[in-house]
Amino acid sequence: MAKGTVVQKIIDRHFISGNKAPGEPVAIRIDQTLTQDATGTMAYLELEAMRVDRVKTEVSVSYVDHNMMQNGPENRNDHLYLQTVAAAKGVYFSRPGNGICHQVHLERFGIPGKTLLGSDSHTPTGGGIGMMAIGAGGLDVALAMAGQPFRMAYPKVIGVKLTGKLNAWCSAKDVILTLLSILSTKGNVGCIVEYCGPGVATLSVPERATITNMGAELGVTTSVFPSDAGTQAFLKAQGRGDVWSELIADSDAEYDRIIEINLAEVVPMAACPSSPDNIKKISDLAGTKVGQVIIGSCTNSSLRDLMMVAAMLKGRRVNDDVTFAIAPGSKQVLEMISRNGALADIIAAGARILEAGCGACIGQGQSPADGTVTVRTFNRNFAGRTGTKGDQAYLVSPETACAAALTGEFTDPRNLSFACPVIQDAESFLINDDMIIPPPKDGSNVEIIRKPTIGNPPENQPLPDKIDGSVVIKVGDKITTDHIMPAGIHLKHRSNIPVYAKVVFECFTESGSQSFAERAAAVRDQGRHGIIVGRDSYGQGSSREHAAICPMYLGVKAVIAFAIERIHSANLVNFGIMPLTFVNQADYDRIEQEDTIVIDDARDQLASGGMITAIVKRADGRNFAIELAHKLSDEDIKIILAGGRLHCTLD
Active site amino acids: 65-66, 120, 380, 542, 544
* Chain centre to alpha carbon of residue 78: 21
Please, is 508 exposed, middle or buried when counting C-beta atoms within 10 Å of its C-beta (0-12, 13-18, 19+)?
A: middle
Spatial distance between the Cα atoms of 575 and 546, rounded to a whole number of angstroms = 10
* Dihedral sign (CA 279, 285, 290, 296): positive
Report yes or no: 152 and 187 within 8 Å, Cβ to Cβ: no
Spatial distance between the Cα atoms of 190 and 120, rounded to a whole number of angstroms = 18
Q: Which residues contact 121 (CB under 8 A, 6 or more apart)?
A: 135, 216, 541, 542, 543, 567
Question: Long-range pairs for 342-350 at CB < 8 Å and ≥24 separation?
Answer: 342/306, 342/307, 342/310, 342/311, 343/310, 345/310, 345/311, 345/313, 345/314, 345/315, 346/306, 346/309, 346/310, 346/313, 348/313, 349/313, 349/314, 349/316, 349/317, 349/318, 349/324, 350/317, 350/318, 350/324
Phi, psi of 488 (to 5 degrees): 50, -135
CA angle, 494 then 65 then 553, to 5°:
15
User: Residue type for 433, please?
Assistant: D
Spatial distance between the Cα atoms of 139 and 637, rounded to a whole number of angstroms = 17
In 3D space, the residue among 535, 580, 572 whose CA is nearest the CA of residue 552 turns out to be 572
β 32-36/59-63 pair status: parallel
Report yes or no: 5 and 194 within 8 Å, Cβ to Cβ: yes
Neighbouring C-alpha atoms within 13 Å toward the C-beta of 495: 26
Within 327-431, residue ranges assigned H as helices are: 331-339, 342-348, 398-407
CA distances from 133 to 117, 193, 269, 345 (A): 6, 12, 26, 35
- The residue count of the chain comes to 651
CA distances from 293 to 29, 220, 395, 396 (A): 41, 29, 10, 10
